[in-house]
Structure 1
């Protein structure tokens, strides 16, 4: 992976996010500063509504900060248009959600190949096959999401996130829809791929034990980190 070791992979400086609501504007993030090094793992914990998922959305370029500075992989998000943000996500960021977000009409293989196809990679399906094999789903390549268990769907989502060899993986409650045993298997896989590929990880979770597996844990309350 490229990048200077002296420069953080993620750097947030006094980031605010204000969103509209029926009751008026809500300060979802209220001056968040955070620095994450390449290869580092950070657990983000806090009560529901504290801003954890919004923090990931801002780091992933899916929400625009209302104020402050967001730097990821050497790119200042404030200077990037939507196409440039999409390109950066395609090349540097993997994102795993609680609800899988797989395309229901596509097979597991096709779902994992999507980001590589969008990037114009001629080896998209070969790479997708290898990544599904790495998460133990070589026998499920042609199955659509509706034919897979929840744990299998999340493993497909992990494969899709890791197939681009991202600098950074954002995981938002990745075990939230899984039973404990299945969730544990998914987490073991996530951390194994992180170690193998050297990917930095920011993990949002309600599970303090899970967060404790990260090299650092930060707490979010009322849109602020501590």
Structure 2
């Protein structure tokens, strides 16, 4: 038996759109163990990103239950969820979501400051140096390439030492060389901090590096796959 860190039991997600209710995810039961790297793959529209959002408490399951570190995410209000994420999760998106008016150093320091870390800027600098951006500390996002911005986003997600690192198409907006570098850094962060890593990807070479891959089709785990 493993040490479960993320547990989904019959989790579903239905969203209301202009055309009525749309069932995005249908009865997902899935367990991710501490320290595991899980790849989520499948065609566009299959629900991969939505599943990642459920795991991070960024979307609420409309059916079933989602638990992280033994806590029922559905039982938390928005403030409690935000505090829980801040203390336990790092999220990396395909679009970098950096604050344009802040330097790289300030962007990475933000979550640490929110968590009350007195050494926020020292830790932010160390994390940026670890992803090869020691020379970009005082640069703003608009002054950096896409690959550099994604490295800042990675450093920001990893700086609070989250137990769970969630990445949604982290190489999707990058060319091959930058994408390969981000892949190496992502797995390096996992190794360095011992985080559990869940990532959505279309890149076969990225999925191949995961301990386990789950394929989604039409909002469900594909037949023949053992999800737990």
TM-score category (smaller protein) = over 0.9
* Mapped partners of 1:130, 1:107: distance in 2: 15
2:16 aligned partner: 20
* Mapped partners of 1:128, 1:209: distance in 2: 29
Question: What do you get for the CA RMSD once the two structures are aligned?
Answer: 1.0
Once the 2 structures are TM-superposed, how far is the Cα of residue 174 of structure 1 from its aligned partner?
Answer: 0.4
Using the size of structure 2 for normalisation, the TM-score is 0.95
Once the 2 structures are TM-superposed, how far is the Cα of residue 137 of structure 1 from its aligned partner?
Answer: 0.5
| 1:132 and 2:140 matched | no
1:69 aligned partner: 65
1:215 aligned partner: 211
Deviations 1:10-62 (A, max 9, x none): 00000010001122111101001110011100000001111000001111111
Deviations 1:41-99 (A, max 9, x none): 00000011110000011111111110101000121112111111001110110000000
| 1:162 and 2:161 matched | no
* Mapped partners of 2:84, 2:172: distance in 1: 27
**Count of residues paired in the alignment:** 222
- SS at 1:174's partner residue? coil
Question: Which residues of structure 1 form unaligned runs of 5+?
Answer: none
Question: Which residues of structure 2 form unaligned runs of 5+?
Answer: 223-228
- SS at 2:34's partner residue? coil
- SS at 1:100's partner residue? coil
Once the 2 structures are TM-superposed, how far is the Cα of residue 152 of structure 1 from its aligned partner?
Answer: 0.3
* Mapped partners of 1:74, 1:124: distance in 2: 28
1:191 aligned partner: 187
